[in-house]
A and B are shown apart, each in its own frame.
Chain A
């Protein structure tokens, strides 16, 4: 009798323990591409993303709520990405937020996520018009979009020339990955070209971008004043090698946020010296507090996901920052809907819509100096439009200087026009102000 009651009590204890453990878990699906043509870039990003979750868990989770995560390999392929999305969306009590890490997949998921009511974070890629929260309730292009990057890169070139009016008559070649990723920025660049009177030459490169001889032959013939490089993966290093072969000065090349990481320049090394890239806030941040914390609390304990030396590199930081934004959204939602509770996707969406990462908060998180304050609202799902230019000095990325901010006067009307079109095309209605309170 006694034995039976003890067993029963133990079983009951175990059951409640299990129930508690189940109730206190927030699931973050991780879409990665550690294989395929884009693996060199996808791997450090995935490592950073996962390492940040490990860090948060070692610090006791999000106000006591443990993070569970599961990886799924997309190989940067849209159809495989959809399979991953379907596979993970219902696991461990339901996915909190998806980060597709691919512009093509973002487009496909933009249609699916509202039906499943799961938010999407697309840091610096995906649909530029999705910053309009009135039309895109579930999309969050936090930190910036292709339009922000393209806008500020033109500003940076203007500064180098000594004023945007000096761009008149200049020739700027846009060498881009021939996919939604590369095409997204074109409409903004055309707008800027009209404003300042420079010639924009569009030079598409077929994916994955290994073969660029014809493109660079054209550049040799046209002799543009600047080259904007919107590449991803192997396309970037191939372009830099071609630039070296053609003799196009690397100082006059500006890459996108996705073209300015270590794997892009490593193979070219010293010859890539002078190449610039526009960074949506963070770049390589080996000296930042968050990197030191991760090294001390994750890597020192043998928990690190990748090699130690990649911690703090550009793409690793991108993973870390993306994960931080996802976690902060949950934390914000907990502030309103109950600290230490598991939050639903609707509540997390509210969290992303009301992010308020001020300088104090960023410093506390260890992101001081890595990024600028960011605050979102129901209407603005982007939160900030700051960028910096960094330059490869042959060994490492160095920051050239001051912050740039995208010109709202140009971007706002474009976002409005494009999202209006989306709304009519999809036969939807815009969100009402009451909907914003939910």
Chain B
């Protein structure tokens, strides 16, 4: 009743092509953006920003990038941690070595470096697929770990191999307080989400999906696999690289290669699988599930004043978290995004289902 497209007629081509064809959706998204940009920065406490919202936004961005590759183009990758690392270290080197380098330029150029490496490691995808490709991208992970641990030039010859940045500024505004950092990340996420949505709706996105669904058929109708696959690798690793740079610059401040280890790659892949492959919304759901749930579960004993030790609480968190993953994948193997769209379908007919 509240959510129905009855009476909303599309009278021109433009309206038909809108990202959100239903008016209620447009209103909901507008309200969400308003809340995210205006209300949250005013009311949220610092803990919410630094520990929850900023990591959630940055990892959503990374999951979004990975979703292009895995969800839209069907190429499994276990190297996303590596592309995050390349983005972060490249941005760090550009930012510290070049005097007066603007922050946004460093982040984007960091993403471009990740793109170059991503395309390089994407080349094997032209010949191998599935599990074998996963193993090939795993090589990217170990290569990046090795490079940033061993090659001292990348870490600016620091004693410990740990690097860091401080005094972030954009156009003269300092990015210092948690709320400023949050807005900075939010802006990045919004721009990239919009760009991605448009890309996957466009010609290039259709090529990726054709490639995912059946490579031979796609090639027959004139889609070049080389172009389609490598462009997916390029776009995906660019976004993941920018997310990595943000993770280092904005969230951690100082980092070491362990911040972008194999665990991070798996975490991102789980986000995509649990959130929903081939869905922009799914990337956000997945990131929320993986980032927020452990923190929430970890806090439950404290909220109810249960006298259990931190070790036990931590183990319980892992068990509950694991059980929930299994539960969700059994109930809906297509991810949380599918649950979401089913809910919307039901809501359209409510309260008069056929």
Contacts and interface: CB of A to CB of B under 8 A. Distances in A.
Nearest to B298: A73
Interface residues of B, number: 36
Closest 4 CB pairs of A and B: A34-B311, A180-B160, A111-B253, A86-B51
Interface of B: 45-47, 50-51, 55, 96, 145, 149-150, 159-162, 164, 166-167, 176, 251-256, 258-259, 295, 298-299, 309-311, 313-315, 318
B259 A178 contact: no
Interface in A261-310: none
A204 B161 CA distance: 13
A90 interface: yes
Interface string A72-107: 110100110011001100100000000000011001
Given A35-B311, A107-B254, 9 more contacts: A73-B310, A78-B256, A79-B259, A87-B47, A90-B47, A108-B252, A111-B254, A128-B159, A427-B166
A184 B51 contact: no
Contacts, number: 101
A209 to B, nearest CB: 13
A97 to B, nearest CB: 19
Contact of A180 (B161, B166, B298, B318): B161
A226 to B, nearest CB: 22
Contacts of A425: 96, 166
Contacts of A111: 164, 166, 253-254
A34 B314 contact: yes
A71 B160 CA distance: 28
Interface of A: 32, 34-35, 39, 43, 71-73, 75, 78-79, 82-83, 86-87, 90, 103-104, 107-108, 110-112, 115, 127-129, 178-181, 183-184, 186-187, 204, 206-207, 418, 425-428
Contacts of A73: 298, 310-311, 313-314
Given A34-B310, A178-B149, A82 B51 contact: yes
Which of B258, B259, B318 has most chain A Cβ within 10 Å? B258
A104 B159 CA distance: 13
Nearest to B49: A86
A428 B167 CA distance: 9
A103 B160 contact: yes
B160 A90 contact: no
Contact of B315 (A35, A129, A204, A207): A35
Given A34-B310, A78-B252, A82-B51, A104 B164 contact: no
A86 B47 contact: yes
Contact of A104 (B47, B258, B309): B258
B51 A83 contact: yes
Given A71-B310, A90-B47, A78 B166 contact: no
Contacts of A127: 160
B50 A78 contact: no
A43 B160 contact: no
